[in-house]
């Protein structure tokens, strides 16, 4: 599967919402195509390099994690000419097999989808995590939180906590790559306990 990439210094999780302010022409063109055709693009976390290309210098492409999340766009606004505001909605995860840059600098990857985690009901021992997540969701506001709530789903709760907690990007990326919801929750529970939040 060929997919255009939007490398960012953040991690998009399945089911997550990511507001984007796009001003580089290559990404505006990509976003317009996604909006008009209902297609998707891939968000990968940058491990080295910059989000914004320096057009006056021949900088190398940013390095990014090989596991990312497919995204679709929900709504758009252009409050001023040349700046596009959109919201990316996280879909399934994927693995980059290879990639290359087009003439305009847009990176296009050959990718392989990663199967979604099986639905696992939240254990009673993890109910405190769901309660904490509900509290956090009221603070970030509904516009920055998924519309479909699933506080009894272990994967959903783990993904939402991983995106909202102030974790280092490398840890957030690890949370994305883990394929076991219970392991993800155990790691997050340990982090929260160490910081006196549980």
Segment 111-164, tens digit of pLDDT: 999 999 988 899 888 999 999 999 988 888 777 788 788 999 999 999 999 999
Q: In 38-180, which residue ranges form alpha helices assigned H by DSSP?
A: 127-140, 154-164, 169-177
Residues of the chain with CATH 2.30.130.40: 2-113
Q: What is the CATH number of domain 2-113?
A: 2.30.130.40
| Amino acid 97: pLDDT | 96
d(CA 194, CA 102) in angstroms, rounded, equals: 45
| Amino acid 96: pLDDT | 96
Q: How many residues does the chain have?
A: 198
d(CA 3, CA 5) in angstroms, rounded, equals: 6
Q: What is the largest CA-CA distance in the chain?
A: 56
Position 59 pLDDT exceeds 90:
no
pTM of this prediction exceeds 0.85: yes
Position 31 pLDDT exceeds 80:
yes
Residues of the chain with CATH 1.10.4060: 124-194
| Amino acid 147: pLDDT | 79
Q: What is the CATH number of domain 124-194?
A: 1.10.4060
Q: What is the mean pLDDT of residues 62-74?
A: 93
The C-alpha angle 69, 150, 138, rounded to 5 degrees, equals 90
Mean pLDDT computed over every residue of the chain: 89
């Amino acid at each position: 599967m060929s997919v255009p990439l939007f490398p960012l210094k953040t991690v998009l999780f399945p089911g997550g919402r990511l507001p984007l302010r796009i001003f580089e022409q290559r990404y505006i063109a990509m976003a317009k195509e996604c909006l008009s055709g209902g297609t998707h693009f891939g968000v990968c976390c940058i491990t080295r390099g910059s989000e914004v290309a320096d057009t006056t210098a021949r900088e190398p492409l940013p390095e990014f994690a090989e596991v990312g999340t497919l995204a679709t766009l929900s709504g758009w606004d252009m409050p001023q000419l040349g700046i596009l505001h959109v919201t990316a909605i996280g879909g399934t995860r994927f693995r980059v097999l290879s990639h290359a840059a087009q003439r305009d600098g847009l990176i296009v990857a050959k990718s392989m989808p990663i199967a979604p985690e099986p639905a696992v009901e939240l254990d009673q021992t993890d109910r405190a995590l769901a309660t904490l997540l509900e509290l956090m969701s009221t603070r970030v506001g509904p516009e920055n939180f998924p519309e479909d709530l699933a506080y009894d789903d272990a994967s959903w709760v783990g993904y939402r906590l991983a995106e909202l907690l102030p974790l280092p990007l490398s840890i957030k990326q690890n949370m994305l790559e883990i394929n076991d919801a219970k392991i993800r929750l155990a790691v997050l529970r340990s982090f929260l306990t160490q910081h006196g939040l549980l």
